[in-house]
Amino acid sequence: MNDTLFPVFEAKVTYDTPSGDVPTNYKLIVRKDSHKILSCMTNDYKLVENQEIWDIANPIITKNGGKLKETIAFGEGARTVTKWHFPNHKVKVGKDDDMTPEIIIKNSYDGTVGVNILAGAFRLVCSNGMVIGVIATDYKNKHSVYNVALKDIDGVIHETITRTKAIFKDEFPILQDTDIKEKHIVKFLEMFPIQANSIVTQKLIADTPKTFWDLFNVGTSVTTHNMDRNSESTHKLEDALYKKIKGMALSEVGVA
């Protein structure tokens, strides 16, 4: 945690004149422990320290059964990522393959990201590090002195946990327990571009999906392994896949 919870301070940027120092519209964000300058920001930048976020988020997440998974620092601490997971809320998606809810909080002292809180379910799908997931919530707020939403981080954490657990309790079981029909296969194929039809068809024949969860896994396999990762359309399809398959499943059981 020392890599992310170090103290920082703001130092005004001035310039010398014969009459003395003149203030500018800039300030430095500096590590107290090493005096390393992490960034130079305008005075509109609102400093939100990692320690402040940790003091709010960790007690709430821990109380709800979450456990710290990892913390990562980049650029000597200018950008940080902290991850928690909920090991008691597993969904078995295959032999020796479980998914658990995760909350990922990103913060930066160089303005590259605001206070970002991402929650959902994620898992490694191949040895090259490819990860797929289902995003429950994605909260983003800029570091701005005019952004009053930064004062409600605790409320966002509570809402994020509730939404994430609801997906595991209410949505995933429906996908796993509801069988698909031929009409769902047709709608599934329509999600993909024409040039991917043969690949998707081959994957459907090979995997013979029975449930909506099986169908979702076919889709994620095709998008991560067989489609152009540099294409914006691939990522748009990836983002829409879960929502569309969930919609079909809920409609099938009469929930939608």
* C-alpha 60 chain-centroid distance: 18
Is pLDDT larger for residue 63 or for residue 1? 63
Q: What is the pLDDT of residues 107-126, one digit of tens each?
A: 999 999 888 888 877 665 55
Q: Give the span between the Cα atoms of 128 and 72, in whole angstroms.
A: 19
Mean pLDDT of 4-15: 94
Q: What is the pLDDT of residues 83-103, one digit of tens each?
A: 998 888 877 666 666 777 888
* Cα angle: 172, vertex 173, 177; to 5 degrees: 125
pLDDT score of 128 more than 50? no
* Cα angle: 232, vertex 234, 238; to 5 degrees: 115
CA atoms within 13 A on the CB side of 233: 8
pLDDT recorded at residue 133: 58
Q: Identify whether 1 is part of a domain.
A: no
Q: Identify whether 173 is part of a domain.
A: no
Does residue 81 share a domain with residue 34?
no
Does residue 25 share a domain with residue 72?
no
Does residue 158 share a domain with residue 81?
yes
DSSP 8-state symbol, 178: -
pLDDT recorded at residue 123: 60
pLDDT recorded at residue 135: 64
pLDDT recorded at residue 94: 60
Q: Provide the number of structural domains found in the chain.
A: 3
Mean pLDDT of 161-187: 88
pLDDT recorded at residue 129: 45
pLDDT score of 45 more than 80? yes
pLDDT recorded at residue 126: 52
The neighbouring-strand residues paired with 115 are 141
Average pLDDT, the chain: 85
Q: What is the pLDDT of residues 191-241, one digit of tens each?
A: 999 988 899 999 999 999 999 988 988 998 888 788 887 777 887 887 788
Among 38-47, 146-155, 182-191, name the one with the lowest average pLDDT.
Answer: 146-155
**Of 241, 250, 197, 253, which is closest to residue 215 (Cα–Cα)?**
241
Q: Give the span between the Cα atoms of 125 and 93, in whole angstroms.
A: 12
Cα-flanking dihedrals φ and ψ of residue 138, to 5°?
Answer: -145, 95
Q: Identify whether 172 is part of a domain.
A: no
Mean pLDDT of 152-173: 82
Q: Which residue among 136, 164, 192 closes a domain?
A: 164
Does residue 152 share a domain with residue 62?
yes
Task: Tokens for 227, please give them.
Answer: 């489609």
Q: How many DSSP H helices and E strands does the chain contain?
A: 7, 10
